[in-house]
Structures are given as structure tokens and as C-alpha cells.
């Protein structure tokens, strides 16, 4: 059994690579983990120049997956409204969190996917009802 403990967000990929290499070695395989050069989901080398504020916001949060969020807005214009008044997050981002990031609860969306609850706990109370 190979166990990975500790670590942090900035080192998790290297830790996973080391664990895969160890697993392959213990199975007698000479292969090594091949994910080092693969881009992360949503990673993009495109520039955000000449985009409006909403597009820049979505691109900075979702990278190449921002198109999925903008497509949701094209299907339902009400999803372009703020999720919480005064905060930058859009209703479409909550839908994306459920359909693409496995968000299961309102708290998950407000606390971890958008950080709305962390930024302004009082403003999020109305969404709890």
C-alpha cells in the first residue's frame, strides 16, 4: 500500500507523481508517471485582452472552461445575474459547480466554489433560506 499524507495544494501534483512512480516500481514496471507536462483542466495560454469585465472574470476563474459558463448564460440570460448581490460571482457559476465540479450543497457552492461565504458571510445568509 502506498499512502500520500500531508502536502498542500501547491505540491499535490508532485506528490501524486511520486506515488505513481513508487506504485509502478513496486509492480516491477520501468514506466514512470507521464502527467508532469499535461495541462490542468481549464488551463489555457490564451490572452484575456479585449474581453469585457464579465469575460475576464470568467476566464480568470475557469480558463478554457469559461466557454461552458458563457454557454449556460446564452441558454438562460438570468444566469448572468450575480449569485450574491455585491459579489462578483454569477448564477451560472453555481450551475457549473454542480454540473462540472461535483458541488453537492449550497454551502459547498458558497464556501468552496465561489468563496462568497468567506468574503461576506452576512450577504450569503439570504441564499441559505
pLDDT at 21: 94
Mean pLDDT of 21-37: 90
Write the pLDDT tens digit of every residue in 47-100: 666 678 888 899 989 988 999 999 999 999 999 999 998 899 999 999 999 999
Q: 121 in the Ramachandran plot: left (φ > 0), alpha (ψ -120 to 50) or beta?
A: alpha
Count of residues in the chain = 129
pLDDT of residue 76: 98
The ranges assigned to domains in the chain are: 1-38, 53-128
Q: What is the CATH architecture of 53-128?
A: Orthogonal Bundle (1.10)
Q: What mean pLDDT do residues 31-53 have?
A: 77
Dihedral over alpha carbons 54, 46, 74, 92 (to 10 degrees): -60
Stronger pLDDT, 46 or 104, i.e. the higher one:
104
The torsion defined by the Cα of 110, 114, 117 and 119, in degrees rounded to 10, comes to -170
Cβ neighbours for 36, distance < 8 A, ≥ 6 positions apart: 13, 17
Mean pLDDT of 23-32: 92
Task: Specify the pLDDT at position 23.
Answer: 94
Residue 9: all three cell numbers together: 495544494
Give percent of the chain above pLDDT 70.
Answer: 91
- 70, 76, 77, 80: CA torsion to nearest 10: -50
Alpha-carbon gap, residue 123 to 41, rounded angstroms: 31
Give the model's confidence band at 118: pLDDT under 50 very low, under 70 low, under 90 confident, else very high: confident
- pLDDT tier at 46, thresholds 50, 70, 90: low
Amino acid at each position: 500500500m502506498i499512502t500520500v499524507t500531508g502536502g498542500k495544494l501547491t505540491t499535490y501534483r508532485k506528490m501524486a507523481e511520486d506515488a505513481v512512480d513508487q506504485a509502478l516500481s513496486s509492480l516491477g514496471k520501468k514506466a514512470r508517471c507521464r502527467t508532469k507536462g499535461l495541462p490542468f483542466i481549464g488551463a489555457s495560454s490564451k490572452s484575456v485582452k479585449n474581453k469585457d469585465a464579465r469575460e475576464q472574470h470568467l476566464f480568470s476563474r475557469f480558463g478554457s472552461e469559461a466557454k461552458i459558463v458563457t454557454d449556460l448564460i446564452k441558454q438562460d440570460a438570468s444566469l448572468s445575474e450575480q449569485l450574491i448581490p455585491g459579489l462578483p460571482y454569477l448564477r451560472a457559476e453555481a450551475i457549473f459547480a454542480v454540473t462540472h465540479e461535483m458541488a453537492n450543497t449550497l454551502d459547498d457552492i458558497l464556501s468552496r466554489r465561489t468563496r462568497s461565504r468567506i468574503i461576506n458571510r452576512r450577504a450569503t445568509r439570504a441564499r441559505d433560506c
